[in-house]
Structure 1
Amino acid sequence: MEADFISERIAKLRNEKNISARDMSLSLGQSQSYINNIENKKALPSMQMFLYICEYLGVEPKDFFDEDITDPSKLNEAVEAFKSLSPKQLDLLIALAKEIK
């Protein structure tokens, strides 16, 4: 996997949430240019910071690397909501999703 992917994925997920790089950096307890440096490919986050970034963005680390998931935080939100549904309700939602697709 290319290092560019991490930079680009962070930028994409951050922009989808309408969060500025400065606000995200400061919220993570870093300098105001921290996320900018990552997105501009000047640095990569440590593993610990990567996990903090994922948590901040509401993304599971495994979903971060899945390019087919366009909005990982929405997918996780849906999965959490689906956990309390009955099997019949889940079947209906699956049928609806297939129909929409």
Structure 2
Amino acid sequence: MDDTQRYITYVRERITDLRTQKDVSEHRMSLELGKSGSYIRGITSGAALPSLRELFNIMAYLEVSPSEFFDGLDDPDSLRTALRGRLMELNDEDLQKVSSFLDWIRK
């Protein structure tokens, strides 16, 4: 699967996962977004893709930021993904220490 198809598949699956977590039907979500009742079903079935503006509306509806929406797109076994997860657990003081250390490494 090429990268473009992987991204498209990810968007469709992510919308389904987040919608399910929110415990809302595709029909209800579509209507609450101001669309026809089959709008979300069209996206998740592969018949259509949302425009960028509509994707942001979907994210807002699902109450996630763009970074949260795309968080799982990277390989979960990669070192970057593992480090990102560990950084998210740090408080501001510890993040400042990591930032200082990174500055020192780059010199």
Q: Taking structure 1 as the reference length, what is the TM-score of the superposition?
A: 0.65
Q: CA deviation at 1:32?
A: 0.3
Matched, 1:5 2:5: no
Instruction: Name the SS of the counterpart of 2:18 in structure 1.
Output: helix
Structure 1 segments unaligned to the other structure (5+ residues)? 69-86, 88-101
Matched, 1:26 2:34: no
The structure carrying a bigger helix percent of its residues is 2
Match of 2:63 among 51, 58, 74: 58
Percent identity, please.
42
Q: Superposition RMSD on alpha carbons, in Å? A: 2.1
Rg larger for:
2
Matched, 1:14 2:14: no
Q: Which amino acid aligns with 1:46?
A: S
Q: Taking structure 2 as the reference length, what is the TM-score of the superposition?
A: 0.62
Structure 2 segments unaligned to the other structure (5+ residues)? 74-92, 94-107
Matched, 1:46 2:51: yes
Q: CA deviation at 1:26?
A: 0.3
List 4+ stretches of structure 1 deviating above 6 A: none
Determine the C-alpha separation between the residues in 2 that align with 1:66 and 1:41: 21
